Amino acid sequence: MSKLLIVGTVAFDEIETPFGKTDKILGGAATYIGLSAANFNTESAIVSVVGQDFPEKHLNLFREQNINLDGLQVVADGRTFFWKGRYHNDMNTRDTLETQLNVLADFEPKVPDHFLDSDIIMLGNLHPAVQMSVIEQVKAPKLIILDTMNFWMDTTLDLLKEVIAKIDVITINDEEARQLSGEYSLVKAAKKIHEMGPKYVVIKKGEHGALLFHDDEIFFAPALPLEEVFDPTGAGDTFAGGFAGYLAETKDTSFENMKKAIVYGSNLASFCVEKFGTERMKNLDIEEINGRLKEFKSLTQFEINLT
The correct pick among 53, 209, 282, 288 for binding its own copies (CB under 8 A) is 209
How many residues of this chain bind its own copies (CB under 8 A)? 37
Q: How many helices (H) and strands (E) does the chain have?
A: 10, 15
Residues numbered 229-248 forming contacts with its own copies, rule: CB under 8 A: 229
* Residue 237 CA: distances (Å) to CA of 163, 183, 254: 19, 24, 22
Residue from 29, 61, 211, 240 touching its own copies (CB under 8 A): that is 211
Rounded to whole angstroms, the Cα distance separating 16 from 95 reads 10
How many Cβ atoms are within 10 Å of 140's Cβ, its own excluded? 8
Regarding 63 and contact with its own copies (CB under 8 A), the answer is no
Q: How do strand 210-214 and strand 200-204 relate by DSSP bridges? A: antiparallel
Q: What mask of x and - would describe binding to its own copies in positions 252 to 291, judged by CB under 8 A?
A: -------xx--x--------------------------x-
- Rounded to whole angstroms, the Cα distance separating 92 from 18 reads 12
**41 binds its own copies per the rule CB under 8 A:** no
Cα–Cα nearest to 44, from 15, 70, 11: 70
Of 219, 279, 282, 288, the one binding its own copies by CB under 8 A: 219
175 near its own copies, judged by CB under 8 A:
no
From 64-72, 73-81, 122-130, 208-216, give the range in contact with its own copies by CB under 8 A.
Answer: 208-216
Measured distance CA(70)–CA(236) in Å, rounded:
25
How far apart are CB 307 and its own copies at their closest, in Å?
A: 8
The length of the chain in residues reads 307
195 binds its own copies (CB under 8 A): no
Exposure class string for 21-37: b at 16+ Cβ within 10 A, else e: ebebbbbbbbbbbbbbb
Establish if 165 lies at the interface with its own copies (CB under 8 A): no
- Using the rule CB under 8 A, is 306 a contact of its own copies? yes
- Complex with its own copies: residue 58 or 280, whichever CB lies closer: 280
Binding site for its own copies (CB under 8 A): 89-90, 184-188, 205, 208-209, 211, 217-222, 225-229, 259-260, 263, 290, 293-294, 297-304, 306
